Amino acid sequence: MPLDGRVALVTGAAGGIGGAVARELAAQGADVCLADCAAVDALAAELRATGRKVHAIRMDVTQGNAVRAGVESVVATLGRLDILVNVAGTVSFGAAQTIAEDEWDRVHAINLRGTFLCCQAAIVPMRSRRYGRIVNIGSILGKNGGNARPWIDPSEQERAANVAYGTSKAGVHALTFYLAKELARDGITVNAVAPGPVASAMTADFPERLRALIPAGRMGDAAEVAKACAFLAQESSAFITGEILDVNGGMWMD
């Protein structure tokens, strides 16, 4: 299997995409650490039943000390850290005029600061082995200025992610570029997967008029995002770094 013998840390493992990523990495042979603020006991049991080693931890990605302790526990428990997939994130809705400062800070703390802190903590064990695969979850909204079309229908903005979310994900893209260059000589690749709308509880209220604009004719599936992450996590992807891989059914092409 492509990831046999590798150890992966997946943040946001309690969510739909995070859980799908953990399942895919395990299916490809990796032992996995599941990290989230929420409980991941059921997922941990599911993956252990497949024969994989699983380490489950509670971790707040916005707190540097907690992140560093979490990474140290991965190495102590599973012996190494080869792969980091940063899925932990949050969304925000509404118009720019009404976003509270606290809401702006909350979104950026989780989506951007949290991603950076996890990357920063992972550098040490990866650099020591001169090998690593970091995959960040970006978004189409970090590229396209948002899915909503308020000049056509102002109500779309209330049901689609807003500028706080989009700028936090654009920051994740920029972070990916910088780290890819800085860590390339250490055998560490840094890439991102930028999903379009993915069917989940979070997107249950996604406007039907926007859904109809997806060229593929449907919402994405978390498993499709997971397979893209797993591809970038493989040893065979060593010459791919600083890439933002779009998984959006044709909504945005670059």
Tokens of 135: 């995959």
What domains sit in the chain, N to C, each tagged with a CATH number?
A: 7-247 (3.40.50.720)
pTM exceeding the 0.95 threshold for the entire prediction: yes
Q: What is the mean pLDDT of each run of 10 residues along the chain (254 residues)?
A: 97 97 98 97 97 98 98 98 98 95 98 98 98 98 95 90 97 98 98 94 80 93 98 98 98 92
How confident is the model at residue 29, as a pLDDT? Answer: 98
How confident is the model at residue 203, as a pLDDT? Answer: 77
Cα→Cα distances 237→9, 35, 39, 148, 187, Å: 18, 24, 32, 34, 11
How confident is the model at residue 207, as a pLDDT? Answer: 82
Catalytic residues: 165
DSSP letter for 198, please.
Answer: B
In this structure, the chain runs to a length of 254
Tokens 């000390």 label which residue?
Answer: 65
Contact indicator for 54, 48 with CB cutoff of 8 Å: yes
How confident is the model at residue 178, as a pLDDT? Answer: 98
Tell me how far the alpha carbon of residue 105 is from its chain's centroid. Answer: 19
How confident is the model at residue 201, as a pLDDT? Answer: 74
How confident is the model at residue 83, as a pLDDT? Answer: 99
Q: Which amino acid belongs to residue 144?
A: N
Point out which residues pair with 81 in neighbouring strands.
Answer: none
